[in-house]
Structures are given as structure tokens and as C-alpha cells.
Amino acid sequence: MRPTVAPPESITWRIHLDRAMWVAGVRALMLQALHPVAMQGVWQRSDFLDDPTGRLLRTTHFVAVTTYGSPREADALGERIRRVHARLSFTDPRTGRRHRVDERDLLVWVHCAEVASYLEVVARAGLPVTPAEADRYIAEQAHSATYVGLSPDDVPASLGAMRRYLAEIRPQLRVTPEAVQAVRFLLWPTVPDRLRALAAVKPLWFPIGAMAYHSLPDCARRVYRVLPELPGGQAATTAGLAALRRTLNATPDALYNRIFDEETLRSALAARERLADAGYDVRDGLVGVGKPSHRPAMAPAS
């Protein structure tokens, strides 16, 4: 059995272990909120109101396990997610229709909003990604859709297909009061109890949320109108993403690792051990596998 779901040589590994993924993850949640039915599912059937940070950390754990977790670990997580989702339903207040959380169209939207956000933000922040690598990344991520109950054929497998999907679904997207409130929560989230020791540095979160917001598509920012546009427009956003990535890369590992929950940290340590057993050089951590010039990023500095 291979030691990790994604091999260290993959473009998935390079993107998902980049520290700019924190911005990308927040951007994905903001983009997902524009689907009014999907937003109702989150609003009614999750603890987002009480712990928006927790939802981001759960997404982080999913990305971690489906990247550097073992195939068995990823399969177990996927089974758990599918089992939970199968029990959840909610009502769209606009139509009165009852929906399942695991409806195919909703799962496809969530997947695409995440994958598109990860790719765009990390590349804009400065990770070199060629067009061929972008295609390969989206194709690799089609497999990750299986963990939530989709088939790889349900989701785009190339950059062109992803762009077509996002263009086709755009007429269904709209801003709702819940979506605006979700964005505001993500700009200034509640600090969970286990991170109280980091409460003093909470103001450092705002640049992450702000850069996530400003990296949204123009049409999304126009309807949200939560933050004023940056002077300098999208050129300023790209420069800001690059500066924020440099700052995150300069964060001491001991402080950076405190953001992750214990389960994610254990997954990173186990991945390092499996890779070492498989003959990889892991002395420079997970990101350094085969690429010692890169600093640890989205993965804990193990």
C-alpha cells in the first residue's frame, strides 16, 4: 500500500502543503456561501454560528488526510463523513423544499468551490503552477470527491472544465443574509477554547480573511459588499497574497503548529513515519520530502 494518498511528487502535495492554503480555505468557504441552498444546509445543520473556526479546521483536516494520510485513513474519514451527511436534511425557506445534505449537486458545488479556490489562491500567492500542472491538479482532485460520495466523473477533471462549470452555475448563485453573516464571521471568527492562548494574536487573522475576501471573483465581491475594494484593485490583492504567504512562511513552526487540532498533527507525524519507512528523506519535514529548499506550509511542521 502506498504511504500517502497523494505522492510527495504530485502537484496536489505542493499546493496543499503551502501555507497560503489558509487563505484559500477561507476563500472557499466564502465562495460556497453564495449557493443559497448549500448555505442553508450549513446554516441549519452545522455549528458554524457557534464555531466558524471549527468548520475551517475540519476542512483543513479533510485536506490533510486526503493528501498525506494513508489510503486506509482517508477511506475511514470518507466513510465517516458520508455516514454523517446521510442523516442530515434541511428545508430551503425560499421554496419550502426539503433537501439532503449529500445531494449530488450540492456536493459538486462544494468540491468545485474548494478546488478552484485552492488552486487560484496558492498560485496567485506565489507558488509556481504551470497550466499543465493546473490541469493535473484538478484531475487529481477528482479522486478526492469520492470520499464525500461522488464519482470522479461527477466533477471537472481539467481547468477548462472547471471554468465551464463555474460559469454555468453562476446564475444560481446569489447573496443571502446568511451568506453575508458567514463572511463577517470568517473575517473575525470566534476563537475556540483550545486556541485561547492565541487570542492575543487574533488581529493577525484579519489579513487572512481580508485577502480571502478580496481574492473572490469580482461578481462575488460586488454582491457581498462587506469590505471596500482595495486601492490598486486585483494587482494589490495579488501583491497582498504574496506578502501574506511570506509572512506565514516566516511564522515559527512552534507557533504555527498550534493552529492545528491534535488529530491533524497525529496524521502528519504518522505520514512522516510511513514515508521514512518507504525510503523517502523526511529530515526536512513533509514539504521537504524530495524538495528540501521548500519550507513547511499547510501541513504541520513535523
- Which residues face 89 on adjacent strands? 100
pLDDT-above-70 percentage for the chain: 89
**pLDDT at residue number 294:** 40
Total domains present in the chain: 1
Distance CA(266)–CA(274), nearest Å, equals 12
Query: Is 255 a member of any domain?
Result: yes
Its pTM stands at 0.91
Query: Is 43 a member of any domain?
Result: yes
Burial 119-142 (b: 16+ CB within 10 A, else e): bbbbbbbbbebeeebbbbbbbbbb
Q: Which domain holds residue 253?
A: 11-192+201-262
Query: Is 283 a member of any domain?
Result: no
Contact 69, 273 (CB under 8 A): no
Query: Is 254 a member of any domain?
Result: yes
Collect the ranges in the chain with pLDDT lower than 70.
47-53, 190-203, 290-302
**pLDDT at residue number 284:** 85
- Taken in order 196, 198, 200, 206, is the CA torsion positive or negative? negative
Query: Is 287 a member of any domain?
Result: no
Distance CA(187)–CA(193), nearest Å, equals 18
Helix axes 52-68, 21-32, angle to 10 degrees: 120
Tell the burial category of 232 from Cβ atoms under 10 Å away from its Cβ (0-12, 13-18, 19+). Answer: exposed
98-140 tens-digit pLDDT: 999 999 999 999 999 999 999 999 999 999 999 999 999 999 9
**pLDDT at residue number 28:** 96
Query: Is 286 a member of any domain?
Result: no
Query: Is 275 a member of any domain?
Result: no
Residue 100 vs residues 52, 96, 177: alpha-carbon distances, Å: 22, 13, 22
**pLDDT at residue number 302:** 56
Task: Determine the residue type at 94.
Answer: R
H-assigned helices in 69-174: 71-86, 104-125, 131-144, 159-169
**pLDDT at residue number 226:** 96
Query: Is 4 a member of any domain?
Result: no
